[in-house]
């Protein structure tokens, strides 16, 4: 499997991973703060949150989620009180001052603020400072205390149980955006998930579909020690809170960039609008663009004995599948059906037209890119089984053994249920996202079995017995073991990291 021409294969640092490392001095400081400052700060933070709750509760009485009414004098007083209380809460948490650059445009001029990068729940600070609405899941309103505060800012709720949720959410954003400033501004984090601020991932189009001017807002946490980042793999929510409250001071910067007015072309193409705003914000932050999305996180964080080692080509494949509209229809049952059809072809290699017919799509430039990714010999023909394996891998990255079993069904001989060594190598190359897999170590360990052949049951059992199977028994281009010079323990499977 190869990357198509013109696509940047390297995605650099994994934006969904955060593993903070502390020096001995930093650990001592955290230890001292944990028994002195931390309990006091936590108590004060909880006090101010409790204090804010009755104000938000009273202000919510009698309000409708879908109708905006004029702000009465007493609600304006409540709003002011809540801003003061929430600012005091953040102050007690170590955010003694928040540097603000630029000016926020009024709601009548700009109904939507796009904020990035989104990396922590402390990103709520600009929300509480402005009392802007946000887009959040419906379940958040049931969070004790915090849910009442969220309801107060008139959020756009996402009903995840509703299959039509995305369309309804976009329609509500558009309705409010076109109200002429009657609704509060909507503060949207277009990345749609938390990252580690190593770059800006792809923006979702929701904020840009109305085709109205937006104001980009960039966030910075210029702390010496990063304790605030909360993403998919790393410290949990309470640990982040503990580490952050154990810092003497936590710095934060909010910068309001100039209002971005879309061109006619961008109004017609929300994806183009979103990408151009992303480029502008990345330049202001001096961060790279990362062609990853919320939907790619499972691929980049795959786990297990056959986890993906180089996910760049598989991420590209996944994005192309989304562009073709193939990911929404991919199910375990559909994969089984495609595997059955691929097996019937009896190793027949497919050209572009036959490939298009196999997946029931017309020939397009995107389809050509997909076909080219599996055109290993450069002869314009592909082994369709490689495509099915790749589709299964990106569909269920955490279930690599299910993909391996599916692959065996396409390759195994009926007489003995086994596949050849070179066939297994081809399967693993696609699943792991690597090149030039050699299995001499595996078959040497299986001495006494059929030479050069293996069954799924035997391989499955062997992998269960050897959790570091890939590192210990495989060889491939850029294998991690080749970097283990002077570290024999980590090269023989006796001292692997938790990510192996």
Q: From residue 356, give the alpha-carbon distance in Å to each of 97, 284, 411.
A: 58, 43, 22
Cβ(131)–Cβ(184) below 8 Å: yes
Helix (H) or strand (E) run with residue 349 in it: strand 349-350
The predicted-structure confidence for 199-255, as pLDDT tens digits, reads as follows 999 999 989 999 999 999 999 999 989 999 999 889 999 999 999 999 999 999 999
* Non-local CB neighbours of 245 within 8 Å, separated by 6+ positions: 33, 37, 38, 41, 42, 45, 93, 94
Across 301-328, average pLDDT: 84
Helix (H) or strand (E) run with residue 101 in it: strand 99-101
3-class SS at 256? strand
- What gap in Å lies between CA 468 and CA 493, rounded to an integer? 6
Residue among 333, 185, 309 nearest 259 (CA): 185
* Non-local CB neighbours of 47 within 8 Å, separated by 6+ positions: none
Q: How many residues does the chain have?
A: 500
Across 52-80, average pLDDT: 84
Cβ(308)–Cβ(392) below 8 Å: no
* Non-local CB neighbours of 23 within 8 Å, separated by 6+ positions: none
**What is the token pair recorded at 137?**
């899941």
Q: What is the mean pLDDT of the chain?
A: 87
Residue 485's pLDDT band, with cuts at 50, 70 and 90, is: very low
- What gap in Å lies between CA 279 and CA 266, rounded to an integer? 14
Residue 161's pLDDT band, with cuts at 50, 70 and 90, is: low
Would the pTM count as exceeding 0.85?
no
Cβ(442)–Cβ(471) below 8 Å: no
The per-residue pLDDT for 219 is 97
* pLDDT above 90 (res 440): no
Q: Torsions phi, psi of 423, nearest 5?
A: -70, -40
The per-residue pLDDT for 483 is 45
Pairing mode of beta strands 418-420, 453-455: antiparallel
The per-residue pLDDT for 391 is 94
> CB atoms < 10 A from the CB of 337, how many?
12
The predicted-structure confidence for 72-84, as pLDDT tens digits, reads as follows 888 889 999 999 9
Half-sphere exposure in the Cβ direction for 336 (13 Å, CA): 4
Taking CA 153 as the corner, what is the angle to CA 150 and CA 157, rounded to the nearest 5 degrees?
65
* pLDDT above 60 (res 496): no
- What gap in Å lies between CA 397 and CA 395, rounded to an integer? 6
The per-residue pLDDT for 249 is 95
Across 493-500, average pLDDT: 40
**What is the token pair recorded at 413?**
């001989």
Across 424-442, average pLDDT: 90
The predicted-structure confidence for 370-398, as pLDDT tens digits, reads as follows 999 999 888 899 999 999 999 999 999 98
For every residue of 121-132, DSSP letters joined together read: GGGHHHHHHHT-
The per-residue pLDDT for 495 is 41
Cβ(217)–Cβ(126) below 8 Å: yes
Across 292-309, average pLDDT: 83
Cβ(386)–Cβ(426) below 8 Å: yes
The per-residue pLDDT for 2 is 67
Across 165-181, average pLDDT: 86
The per-residue pLDDT for 365 is 93
Highest-confidence segment of 58-62, 231-235, 272-276, 301-305: 272-276
- What gap in Å lies between CA 152 and CA 256, rounded to an integer? 24
* Non-local CB neighbours of 427 within 8 Å, separated by 6+ positions: 389, 404, 407, 408, 411, 419
Burial of 215 (0-12, 13-18, 19+ CB in 10 A): buried
**What is the token pair recorded at 164?**
């039509």
* DSSP at 470: H
Q: Mean pLDDT lowest for which of 267-271, 319-323, 378-382? A: 319-323
Residue 467's pLDDT band, with cuts at 50, 70 and 90, is: confident
Residue 493's pLDDT band, with cuts at 50, 70 and 90, is: very low
* pLDDT above 50 (res 498): no
Percent of the residues in the chain that have a pLDDT greater than 70, as a whole number: 91
Q: Torsions phi, psi of 169, nearest 5?
A: -65, -45
> CB atoms < 10 A from the CB of 284, how many?
17
- What gap in Å lies between CA 405 and CA 457, rounded to an integer? 9
Burial of 91 (0-12, 13-18, 19+ CB in 10 A): middle
Residue 295's pLDDT band, with cuts at 50, 70 and 90, is: confident
Rounded to a whole number of angstroms, the CA Rg of the chain reads 26
> CB atoms < 10 A from the CB of 12, how many?
12
* pLDDT above 70 (res 160): no
Peptide bond into 410 cis (omega under 30): no
Decide which of 266 and 302 is more confident. Answer: 266
* pLDDT above 90 (res 50): yes
The per-residue pLDDT for 486 is 38
- What gap in Å lies between CA 474 and CA 469, rounded to an integer? 7
Q: Mean pLDDT lowest for which of 182-196, 310-324, 339-353, 391-405? A: 310-324
* Non-local CB neighbours of 97 within 8 Å, separated by 6+ positions: none
Cβ(133)–Cβ(186) below 8 Å: yes
* pLDDT above 80 (res 4): no
The per-residue pLDDT for 448 is 63
Pairing mode of beta strands 186-188, 156-158: unpaired
Across 425-438, average pLDDT: 91
The three-state DSSP-derived secondary structure of 434-449 is: CCCCECHHHHHHCECE
The per-residue pLDDT for 481 is 62
């Amino acid at each position: 499997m190869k990357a198509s021409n013109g696509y940047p294969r390297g995605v650099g640092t994994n934006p969904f991973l955060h593993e903070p490392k502390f020096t001995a001095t930093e650990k001592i400081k955290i230890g001292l703060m944990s028994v002195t400052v931390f309990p006091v700060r936590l108590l004060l933070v909880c006090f101010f949150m409790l204090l804010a709750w009755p104000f938000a509760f009273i202000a919510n009485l009698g309000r409708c989620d879908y109708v905006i009414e004029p702000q009465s004098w007493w609600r304006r007083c409540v709003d002011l009180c809540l801003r003061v209380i929430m600012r005091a809460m953040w102050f007690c948490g170590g955010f003694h001052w928040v540097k603000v650059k630029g000016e926020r445009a009024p709601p009548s001029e700009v109904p939507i603020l796009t904020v990035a990068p989104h990396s922590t729940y402390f990103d709520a600070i600009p929300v509480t400072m402005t009392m802007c609405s946000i887009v959040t899941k419906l379940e958040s309103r049931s969070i004790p205390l915090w849910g009442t505060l969220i309801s107060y800012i008139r959020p756009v709720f996402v009903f995840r149980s509703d299959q039509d949720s995305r369309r309804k959410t976009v329609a509500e954003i558009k309705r409010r955006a076109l109200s002429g400033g009657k609704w509060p501004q909507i503060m949207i984090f277009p990345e749609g998930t938390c990252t580690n601020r190593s770059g800006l991932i792809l923006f979702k189009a929701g904020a840009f579909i109305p085709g109205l001017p937006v104001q980009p807002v960039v966030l910075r946490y210029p702390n010496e020690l990063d304790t605030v980042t909360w993403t998919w793999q790393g410290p949990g929510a309470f640990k982040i809170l503990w580490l952050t409250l154990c810092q003497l001071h936590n710095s934060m910067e909010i910068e309001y960039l100039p209002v971005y007015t879309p061109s006619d072309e961008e109004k017609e193409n929300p994806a183009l609008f979103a990408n151009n705003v992303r480029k502008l914000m990345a330049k202001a932050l001096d961060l790279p663009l990362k062609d990853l999305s919320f939907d790619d996180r499972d691929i980049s964080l795959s786990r297990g004995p056959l986890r993906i080692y180089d996910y760049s080509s598989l991420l590209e494949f996944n994005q192309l599948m989304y562009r073709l509209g193939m990911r929404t229809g991919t199910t375990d049952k559909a994969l089984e059906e495609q595997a059955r059809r691929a097996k019937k072809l009896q190793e027949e290699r497919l050209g572009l037209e036959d490939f298009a017919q196999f997946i029931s799509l017309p020939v397009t430039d995107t389809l050509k890119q997909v076909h080219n990714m599996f055109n290993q010999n450069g002869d314009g023909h592909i082994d369709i089984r490689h495509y099915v394996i790749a589709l299964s891998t990106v569909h269920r990255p955490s279930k690599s053994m299910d993909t391996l079993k599916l692959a065996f069904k396409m390759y195994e001989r009926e007489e003995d249920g086994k596949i050849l060594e070179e066939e297994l190598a081809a399967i693993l190359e696609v699943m792991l996202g690597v090149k030039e897999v050699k299995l001499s170590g595996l078959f040497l360990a299986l001495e006494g079995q059929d030479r050069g052949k293996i069954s799924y049951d035997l391989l499955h059992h062997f992998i269960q017995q050897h959790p570091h199977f890939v590192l210990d028994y495989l060889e491939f281009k850029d294998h991690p073991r080749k970097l283990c010079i002077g570290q024999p323990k980590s090269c023989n499977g006796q001292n692997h990291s938790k990510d192996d």
